Structure 1
Amino acid sequence: MSEESSSRNGKEGQDEQAGSAAGPPFQAQRHGSSKDKDASSDDVPQISQPGLSRTARVLVLVPVILTYFLWFLDLAVVSTATPAITSEFNSIVDVGWYAWQRSPAIQYRLLTVDFRQALSFVSHQGKLTQDIRASWSDPHTNTAMQWTFLIFFFIFEVGSVLCGAAQSSAMFIVGRAVAGIGCSGISTGALTIITAILPGKAQAQVLGIAQGLGQLGLAIGPILGGAFTEYVSWRWCFYINLPVGAVVGVLLVLFRIPESEPKKPAREVLGTAVKSLDLPGFALICPAVTMLLLGLQFGGNEHPWNSSVVIGLIVGAAATFVSFLFWERRQGDEAMVPFALLTDKVIWSAAGNMAFVLASILVADFYLAIYFQAVNNDSPLMSGVHLLPTCLSLVLFTIISGVMIEKLGYYLPWTLSGSAISAIGYGLLSLLSPTTPAAKWIGYQVFYGVGSGCTAIAGYIAVQNLVPAAQIPTAMAIVIFCQGMGGTVFLIVANAVFSNSLRHLLRSQSSKIGVAPDVIVAAGARGLRQLIPGSEQLAIALQAYADSIDNVMYVGVGVACVAFAFAWGLGFKDVRREKAKSNAQTTGGVEAKEKNPEAGS
Structure 2
Amino acid sequence: MFLVALDMSIITTAIPTITARFHSEGQMGWYGSAFFLCLASFQSFWGKAYKYFPIKIAFLTAIGVFELGSLVAALSPNSPALIIGRAIQGIGGAGVTGGCYTVLAFITRPKNLQAVFGLTSGVFSLSSVLGPILSGMPPHSRVAHATLKELPFLFDIPGIALTVCALVYLVLVLEDGGVTKPWNSKYCIGLLIGFSLIVILLIVLEWKQGEGAMIVPRIIKRRTVLVLALFNLTAQGSGFARIYNLPIYFQAAQGQSPSESGIRTLPTVLTTSIFSFAGSLAIGKVGYYQPFLMLGSMFVTIGSAMIYTLEPNSGSGKYIGYQVLASIGSGLIIQLKVIVAQAISKRVDMSVTVGSVLFFQFIGGTVGVAASTNIMNNVLISSLPADGRISASDVLSAGSTGLAKMFPNPADLKIVVSAYMKGLKAAWIWSIALAGVSFLVSLAAERKSVRLDHVKKRTEKKAAEEAATA
TM-score > 0.5, shorter chain as reference? yes
Q: Partner residue of 1:444?
A: 322
**Does 2:172 match 1:294?**
yes
Q: From 223, 244, 249, give the equivalent of 1:366.
A: 244
Aligned partners of 2:2, 2:147: CA distance in 1, in Å?
A: 31
Matched, 1:160 2:70: yes
For residue 228 of structure 2, the aligned residue among 322, 342, 350 is: 350
Aligned partners of 2:312, 2:455: CA distance in 1, in Å? Answer: 56
Look up the match of 1:101: 35
Alpha carbons of 1:75 and 1:568: their partners in 2 closer, same or farther (altered >3 Å)? same
**2:52 touches 2:142 (CA, 8 Å); kept in 1?**
no
Q: Is 1:547 paired with 2:422?
A: yes
CA contact (8 A) 1:412 1:458 kept: no
What code does the residue aligned with 1:565 have? L
Q: In the TM superposition, what is the alpha-carbon distance from 1:166 to its structure 2 partner?
A: 2.5
Q: % of aligned pairs identical?
A: 29
Alpha-carbon contact 2:449-2:455 (below 8 Å) kept? no
Distance 1:137 1:166, change over 3 A: same
Alignment of 1:12-161 (within 5 A): 68-99=1-32, 100-102=34-36, 103=38, 104-113=40-49, 136-137=50-51, 139-141=53-55, 145-146=56-57, 148-161=58-71
CA apart distance, 1:183:
1.1
Larger RCO: 1 or 2 (CA < 8 Å, sep 6+): 1
| 1:499 matched to 2:366 | no
Range with greater deviation from structure 2 (469-478 or 68-77): 469-478
Distance 1:435 1:91, change over 3 A: farther
Q: Is the 8 A contact 1:416 1:455 kept in 2?
A: no
For residues 70 and 469 of structure 1, do their structure 2 counterparts lie closer, same or farther at Cα, with a shift above 3 Å needed? closer
Deviates more, 1:398-407 or 1:562-571: 398-407
Shift of 1:93: 4.6
In the TM superposition, what is the alpha-carbon distance from 1:587 to its structure 2 partner?
12
Aligned 8 A contact 2:125 2:272 in 1 = no
Partner of 1:54: none
Q: Deviations along 1:487-542, whole A, 9 cap, x unmatched?
A: 1011111011011111111244x55xx33121111221112111100111111111
Alignment TM-score, normalising by the size of structure 1: 0.71
Selected match of 1:214 from 124, 134, 142: 124
CA contact (8 A) 1:462 1:570 kept: no
Aligned to 1:515, the other structure's residue is in SS state coil
CA distance in 2, matches of 1:288, 1:259: 36
Alignment of 1:226-245 (within 5 A): 226-227=136-137
- In structure 2, the partner of 1:131 is none
Deviation at 1:417, TM superposition (A): 2.0
Question: Structure 1 residues 222 and 543 mapped into 2: Cα distance closer, same or farther (>3 Å)?
Answer: same
Are the structure 2 counterparts of residues 504 and 489 from structure 1 closer, same or farther at C-alpha, using a change threshold of 3 Å? same
- Count of residues in correspondence between the two structures: 460
Matched, 1:379 2:257: yes
The structure with the larger Rg is 1
User: Residues 505, 178 of structure 1: CA spacing in aligned structure 2 closer, same or farther, 3 A cutoff?
Assistant: same
CA RMSD in angstroms, aligned pairs only: 2.8
Matched-pair contact (CA < 8 Å) for 1:96–1:494: no
Give 5+ residue unaligned stretches, structure 2: 464-470
AA matched with 2:178:
G
User: Is 1:582 aligned to residue 461 of structure 2?
Assistant: no
Letter aligned with residue 112 of structure 1: K
Residue 519 of structure 1 corresponds to: 394
- Superposition deviation, residue 544 in structure 1: 0.9
Deviation at 1:188, TM superposition (A): 3.4
Partner SS, residue 98 of structure 1 = helix
Between the aligned partners of 1:404 and 1:197, the Cα distance in structure 2 is 22
Q: Does 1:389 align with 2:303?
A: no
Counterpart of 1:149, as a letter, is F
Q: Using structure 2 for the length normalisation, give the TM-score.
A: 0.89
**SS at structure 2 position matched to 1:533:** coil
Aligned to 2:468: none
Partner deviation per Cα, 1:53-78 (whole Å, 9 max, x = no partner): xxxxxxxxxxxxxxx22122222322
Question: In 1, are the aligned partners of 2:290 and 2:442 still within 8 Å (CA)?
Answer: yes
Contact 1:433-1:543 within 8 A present in 2 as well: no
Aligned residues of 1:412 and 1:570 also touching (Cα < 8 A)? yes
CA distance in 2, matches of 1:161, 1:97: 18
Task: Give the whole-Å Cα distance in 2 for the aligned partners of 1:468 and 1:259.
Answer: 20
CA distance in 1, matches of 2:363, 2:98: 17
* 1:330 is the counterpart of 2:208: yes
Once the two structures are superposed, residues 269-328 of structure 1 have per-residue CA deviations (whole angstroms, 9 ceiling, x without a partner) of 645433412233333332122212212222112210000110111111101111121222
Query: 1:555 and 1:162 mapped to 2: Cα distance?
Result: 33
Matching residue's letter, 2:422? D
Opposite residue 473 of structure 1, the aligned amino acid is S
Structure 1 residue 461, shift from structure 2 partner: 3.6
**What is the Cα deviation at residue 155 of structure 1?**
2.2
- Partner Cα distance (1:467, 1:194) in 2: 15
Q: How far apart are the structure 1 equivalents of 2:338 and 2:98?
A: 15
Equivalent residue of 2:47, what SS? helix
How big is the shift at 1:139? Answer: 4.2
Cα distance change of structure 1 residues 401 and 189 upon mapping to structure 2, 3 Å threshold: closer
Q: Mapping of 1:180-219 within 5 angstroms?
A: 180-194=90-104, 208-219=118-129
- Matches of residues 404-553 of structure 1 in structure 2 within 5 Å? 404-467=282-345, 471-508=349-386, 514-553=389-428
